[in-house]
Amino acid sequence: MKISNTLTQAFGLLLPLSAAVQAKEYSRSEVCQPNHPFKPLPGSQARTRTCHVANHGDGRDDSANVLSALKQCNNGGKVVFDADKKYTIGKALDMTFLKHVDLEIQGHVQFSDDTDYWQENSFKQIFQNATTFFQIGGEDVNVYGEGTLDGNGQVWYDLYAEDPLILRPILVGIVGLNGGTIGPLNLRYSPQWYQFVANSSNVLFDGIDISGYSSSENEAKNTDGWDLYRSTNVVIQNSVINNGDDCVSFKPNVTDILVQNLHCNGSHGISVGSLGQYPGEVDIVQNVLVYNISMFNASDGARIKVWPGGSAAMSTDLQGGGGSGLVKNITYDGMTIDNVDYAIEVTQCYGQKNLTLCNEFPSKLAIEDIVFKNFKGVTSGKRDPDVGMIVCSSPDVCSNIKASNIDVVSPDGDDQFTCTNVSLL
């Protein structure tokens, strides 16, 4: 029997090797190392039945097979996508009814390339027009295996180049899940963001491997690793992310998040925001610990981006500003960078190039109690002589931002920071 590394390790702590491993419960909190989750994660109940997902294997839609296996094995079972089998998902799968069930992905699961169908039928998540191929929600759900979820992204990368208003589905939608472990798992060729986590709590992502580049001249855009929204007590750890946008992004109303031991390459960094884009909305990101990150070939290492109080236009399809809220108690501890434009970038003038205007209408979104420590490495030199910047729109809305033990230089040996309206300690 094949079983994931994490689960094997966890069971190893609790059980003699000869035991029927998949039948025992395990502790999600135990596998969070070296930092522990903000709140203990609920354990996972024993799984006592196994269902195998049948496949056509010839490109015909297998989504009905997935649903029937889930219905059979929900409430205490395990649903297996067999190794060496290819599954095609041609219909949007609503899996928000799950409870105490595992999805073991050993085979190759590919989403169909019918862009018309998916734009019409993918799950509309409203926030930033996000849509997902499927949504997993419920209670105590684990998704893991040596197999792959494949978003068939190429057709989307090419279509997006023709029309930037198409709705590109997110590969993994975790929506309304309380208690779960996702990973180890391989995620490939997502049409846009790889994972969207909303309305969820007590979820551990462990051992996610992300990659998928375009093979045409049309880049794979907006391929964030994770976007967290309206969620609390989430852990993301031990993962490798090769992508072209945020490695991890904390969107509105995300609290108690631990991110540790990631290798990110090609990204826009570990980002809070953007926040404050919509007037009348209150966005909160509070209690985040980001620990031990390796950041390669990126625009940013640690990043906090907040819109100013007045309206600003980043580009024709990205405008905003005027929303309120709070970014508080965010710690970035331990980051090694190589070929990164800014090791640290904090801005309350996101989207507003005219700093006079930004200062005239300071952000209504305060930034407080931020720590950056133990950074080392070499930037790309693109921002020479700066290696970082901390730009607040007014000293009244930025307080207690500390940077210490920042051992970062550019290839030329520069090591400056631009700081406005903030006193660095």
Nearer to ligand NAG, 55 or 154 (CB): 154
Of the candidate residues 289, 295, 346, 349, the single one contacting ligand NAG (CB under 6 A): 289
Number of residues that bind ligand NAG (CB under 6 A): 39
Question: Taking the complex as a whole, how short is the minimal distance between the CB of residue 176 and ligand NAG, in angstroms?
Answer: 7
Amino acid at position 350, single letter: Y
- 337 is a site residue for ligand NAG (CB under 6 A): no
Is residue 84 left, alpha or beta, with left meaning phi > 0 and alpha meaning psi from -120 to 50? Answer: left
8-state DSSP, 170: B
CA–CA separation, 311 and 224 (whole Å)? 25
Residues 148, 105 contacting (CB under 8 angstroms): yes
Question: Taking the complex as a whole, how short is the minimal distance between the CB of residue 396 and ligand NAG, in angstroms?
Answer: 7
Token readout for 150 is: 């494949």
Stretch that binds ligand NAG, among 10-18, 72-80, 100-108, 125-133 (CB under 6 A): 125-133
- 404 is a site residue for ligand NAG (CB under 6 A): no
Give the three-state DSSP class for 67: helix
Question: Taking the complex as a whole, how short is the minimal distance between the CB of residue 181 and ligand NAG, in angstroms?
Answer: 18
Distance of alpha carbon 217 from the chain centroid: 26
First to last CA, the chain: 55
Q: Which of 138, 136, 139 is nearest to 42 (CA)?
A: 139
Question: Taking the complex as a whole, how short is the minimal distance between the CB of residue 369 and ligand NAG, in angstroms?
Answer: 8
Beta strands in 214-350 (DSSP E): 226-229, 231-242, 248-250, 254-265, 270-275, 282-306, 312-315, 318-320, 324-347
Residues 327, 347 contacting (CB under 8 angstroms): no
CA–CA separation, 5 and 181 (whole Å)? 12
Report which secondary-structure segment, H or E, holds 115: helix 115-121
Report which secondary-structure segment, H or E, holds 5: helix 5-14
Q: Which of 291, 295, 381, 303 is nearest to 338 (CA)?
A: 295
Stretch that binds ligand NAG, among 56-64, 75-83, 202-210, 260-268 (CB under 6 A): 260-268
Count of residues in the chain: 425
Nearer to ligand NAG, 35 or 45 (CB): 35
Nearer to ligand NAG, 159 or 355 (CB): 355
Residues 226, 203 contacting (CB under 8 angstroms): no
Give the three-state DSSP class for 120: helix
Of the candidate residues 121, 178, 331, 400, the single one contacting ligand NAG (CB under 6 A): 331
Residues 128-157 that bind ligand NAG (CB under 6 A): 128-129
Stretch that binds ligand NAG, among 15-23, 71-79, 183-191, 261-269 (CB under 6 A): 261-269
Question: Taking the complex as a whole, how short is the minimal distance between the CB of residue 171 and ligand NAG, in angstroms?
Answer: 16
Question: Taking the complex as a whole, how short is the minimal distance between the CB of residue 393 and ligand NAG, in angstroms?
Answer: 7
Contacts of 25 (CB under 8 A, 6+ apart): 43, 44, 45, 46
Of the candidate residues 192, 265, 348, 352, the single one contacting ligand NAG (CB under 6 A): 265
Nearer to ligand NAG, 50 or 199 (CB): 199
Residues 50, 20 contacting (CB under 8 angstroms): no
CA–CA separation, 186 and 242 (whole Å)? 12
Build a one-symbol-per-residue string for 342-381: x at contacts with ligand NAG by CB under 6 A, - elsewhere: ------------xxxx-x----------------------
**Backbone phi and psi for residue 389, each to the nearest 5 degrees, phi listed first:** -150, 145
* Known active-site residue 268: yes
Report which secondary-structure segment, H or E, holds 138: strand 134-144
- 125 is a site residue for ligand NAG (CB under 6 A): yes
- 311 is a site residue for ligand NAG (CB under 6 A): no
Stretch that binds ligand NAG, among 12-20, 63-71, 74-82, 258-266 (CB under 6 A): 258-266
Stretch that binds ligand NAG, among 9-17, 51-59, 287-295, 380-388 (CB under 6 A): 287-295
Of the candidate residues 55, 142, 253, 348, the single one contacting ligand NAG (CB under 6 A): 253
Question: Taking the complex as a whole, how short is the minimal distance between the CB of residue 96 and ligand NAG, in angstroms?
Answer: 10
Question: Taking the complex as a whole, how short is the minimal distance between the CB of residue 220 and ligand NAG, in angstroms?
Answer: 10
User: By beta-carbon distance, which residue lies closest to ligand NAG?
Assistant: 266
Active site residues: 268
Q: Which residues bind ligand NAG (CB under 6 A)?
A: 34, 125-129, 165, 175, 198-199, 211, 230, 242, 252-253, 261, 263, 265-266, 282, 284, 287, 289, 292, 294, 296-297, 329, 331, 339, 354-357, 359, 394-395, 420-421
